[in-house]
Structure 1
Amino acid sequence: MKILIELPTWLGDCVMATPAIENIVNFDNDVKITFIGSFVAIEAMKNHQKVFKTVVLDKKYGVLYKITRELGEFDAFFSFRSSLRTKFLKFLISAKNKYQFDKNKYQYRHQVEKYNDFINDSLKSNFPAGKLVLHADNLKLSINNSSLPILGINPGASYGSAKRWHPEEFAKVASELSGQYDIVIFGGEDEVDIVMDIEKLLLEKSVKNYQNLAGKTTIPELINHISHLDLFITGDSGPMHVAAAFEVPTVAIFGPTKDDETSQWMNEKSLIVKKNLDCQPCMKRTCPLGHHNCMNLIKAVDVLDSVKSL
């Protein structure tokens, strides 16, 4: 059975779609999957055991037409995106059955459940939403051949500045835990400056057992490194969901987003830190009230108390 799957654009959403993708496999184990999607999504999913082909999606409609002509025919097409461009893609794809996620239909539940319900409705099945599934290489990260457990710090969030906790507070937490853990700081290419601020503060506190990986890892490398962490402290982000896939003990800091919809899925070693303000969750990329209190009021001690609880 030949299946074409358009993946969600963002890393976190892509990870949260994996239980639904596994249930497509559960429906017919003899499948050959072609993944199409953003570069990030393809990099995250290219090692799936049922993958036959991967295609990075070009945003230009003319290129999109050419790609669909080259893909050939499929038994089914599933898209986890509800965009207008996907409607165009759905029209162009040659498949016996075509299904597209509708974000307006699937609401008020965890994102994993939204995607899984979409697949169940499409296949007329009743599969439960299982665990997140990612494939990582078995290459453990070490710092100066140290035997200490490894703490991962992830200060960035691609959604917008409103989701980011302050570098000063991250540095306080990392400094406090540096005697118990070696530290790895993660970040994308557009988050290098934030991580450099944390690095500068750590050096001022004479903390040297850290490694700055911001802007230096591929998506498969990021997944591999996170899979070997002993503790992860992060905002609501793609790497947070990667950590959930490997059940890494995690403290997740939430501000303007809906933790009931995008918290870590099926990770019993996860705690959420948030302030439960009347203005939460606003779901805005920047604070509409201008005070950013959902993040400003969270202090290092709040996160450290959660670490102790874990």
Structure 2
Amino acid sequence: MGNKVIVSNRLDGAVLAILPKFIGDAINTLPALALLKQLYPTQRICVLVRPHLTEIFSRASQYGLEVISDDRHCRKKHRGLYGMASQLKHQNFALAVLFRGSLTDAVLARLAGIRNVIGYAQNARRPFLSHAFKLNQCHHYIYRYCKLVNDAHGRPFTHFSSPKLTAQPSTLTLSETQCNVALYLGGKVKGTRYYPEHLAIQVVQHISTIKNINIFLLGDNSEQSDMASLASLALSKGVTLHNLAGSMSLAELVDNIGAMDAVVSIDSGPMHIAAACEVSCVAIVGHGTSPWSLVAPKTDNLIALTHQSTSLNELDMIQDVSPENIYHALSSLLSKRR
């Protein structure tokens, strides 16, 4: 039996979207959330997000979303499954859309008393879904999120938009006469996506030859030591970098990326932020957590350098992307801005 089409103007109550746990995946739900807002223009659209992701949505105010911190994942004020369900139950949600494949999220929606629960039938959660759909693993993440909303409502849409974030003015001291470029090459915690230091320093040296260049290093707290080491190595070779690793909130990261002329990034959150802020980006693609075809940003301002490695060691694959190719790709993007 097929799913009964949800008629949006017959639903009385707020809409809850339970989002993925990673930065890039959360950003990639924005087009689907925009479709929900079109379907329910007068109702509250709430997003349940991991505490560390709440700041991202302060830069997505144009979507008209209300943010709820998923305190199941909060150390300071942790709520269990039943406590979180109780909090949600008081908000009169008529519909939940599950953008993660989690069984627990489906149980949470049901415990919260939500009658209409849309999701993909995976991880043994079909009995908890009122509208269960088969997941095509070949679909791009943005497409699969939008398809979930569209199919449940009778396919009223033919297209979706790309994700957009609105950066606020950066607190960095930037000169309009200089070319400002941010590098996110990852730390060792990134595993197979980490661009190793012996190659990263070559990237830095190549980029430093660009006239009036101003180079910033990005990274989170876990990458501070790796970025400090790279900055020190660069200084020993006569190149000064501005090391921002571990010094920014997620909202500040969006603002600082939004202020750049270009970004060079591995396949990770900063790449998706750059694309959503419409900042030119060179993506260094090694062996990722998902196939590149499923996560590649939908933008014309990105050059993806994918590896062609024949190595049987996944850690070595990203090394097939040469510093010279990264430099030439960046130069190409910057030339379009002049």
TM class by shorter-chain length? 0.7 to 0.9
Aligned twin of 1:182? 214
Give the 3-state SS of the residue equivalent to 1:138 in structure 2.
coil
Bigger Rg over Cα: 2
Structure 1 residue 125 displacement after superposition: 2.7
Deviations 1:56-98 (A, max 9, x none): 3314996221122122221211121111221221221222411
SS of equivalent residue, structure 1 residue 109: coil
CA separation of 1:191 and 1:159: change in aligned 2, threshold 3 A: closer
- Would you say the 8 A contact 2:282–2:303 is kept in 1? yes
Contact 1:247/1:268 (8 A) holds in 2: no
1 CA distance for matches of 2:225 and 2:177?
29
% identical aligned pairs? 22
Residue-pair matches, total: 298
| Partner residue in 2 for 1:38 | 50
Cross-structure match for 1:113: 143
Give CA deviations for 1:271-297 in whole Å, capped at 9, x if unaligned. Answer: 111223457xxxxxxxxx436331122
Distance 1:261 1:169, change over 3 A: same
Tell me how far 1:163 sits from its aligned partner.
Answer: 0.9
Q: Does 1:85 align with 2:85?
A: no
Which residue of structure 2 lines up, in the alignment, with residue 51 of structure 1?
65
Matching residue's letter, 2:252: E
Contact 1:7–1:41 (CA<8 Å) still a contact in 2?
Answer: no
Whether the 8 Å contact between 1:46 and 1:54 is mirrored in structure 2 is: no
For residues 89-238 of structure 1, the aligned pairs below 5 Å read 89-102=108-121, 105-127=135-157, 128-139=159-170, 141-143=172-174, 147-156=177-186, 160-178=190-208, 179-180=210-211, 181-208=213-240, 210-238=241-269
User: Which one is further off, 131-140 or 247-256?
Assistant: 131-140
Q: Give the letter aligned to residue 262 of structure 1.
A: V
8 Å CA contact retained: 2:57, 2:67 = no
Distance in 2, Cα, partners of 1:190 & 1:159: 7
1:182 alignment partner, SS class: strand
Distance in 1, Cα, partners of 2:275 & 2:50: 22
* Residue 83 of structure 2, aligned match among 53, 66, 74: 66
Q: Is residue 155–residue 234 contact of structure 1 (8 Å, CA) maintained in 2?
A: yes
- 103-112 or 182-191, larger mean C-alpha shift: 103-112
Question: How far off is 1:236 after superposition?
Answer: 0.3
- Give, as a single letter, the amino acid of the residue that structure 1 aligns with 2:322: K
Query: CA offsets, 1:106-134, max 9 Å, x none?
Result: 32122111111111122223431211122
Shift of 1:299: 1.9
Uncovered stretches (5+) of structure 1, i.e. residues with no partner? 280-288
SS of 2:80's partner is helix
Aligned letter for 1:39?
A: P
Tell me: CA distance 1:224–1:101, structure 2 relative to 1, closer, same or farther (3 Å): farther
8 Å Cα contact 2:29/2:145 also seen in 1: yes
Q: How far has the Cα of 1:136 moved from its partner? A: 2.5
**What is the DSSP-based 3-state SS (H/G/I as helix, E as strand, rest coil) of the residue aligned with 1:147?**
coil
Match of 2:14 in 1: 2
Paired with 1:240 and 1:16, the residues of 2 have a C-alpha distance of 12
Using the size of structure 2 for normalisation, the TM-score is 0.81
Distance 1:291 1:254, change over 3 A: closer
TM-score (norm: length of structure 1): 0.88
Alignment partner, residue 315 of structure 2: 292
Contact 1:78 1:100 in 2 (8 A): yes
Where does structure 2 lack aligned partners over 5 or more consecutive residues? Answer: 1-12, 123-133, 334-338
Give distance in 1, aligned partners of 2:121 and 2:86: 25
Give the aligned residue type for 2:68.
T
- Residue type at the aligned position of 1:299: S
Q: Secondary structure at the match of 1:273?
A: strand
CA 1:298–1:99: 2 relative to 1, 3 Å: same
2:273 aligned to which of 226, 242, 249? 242
Pairing partner for 1:14 from 8, 11, 26: 26
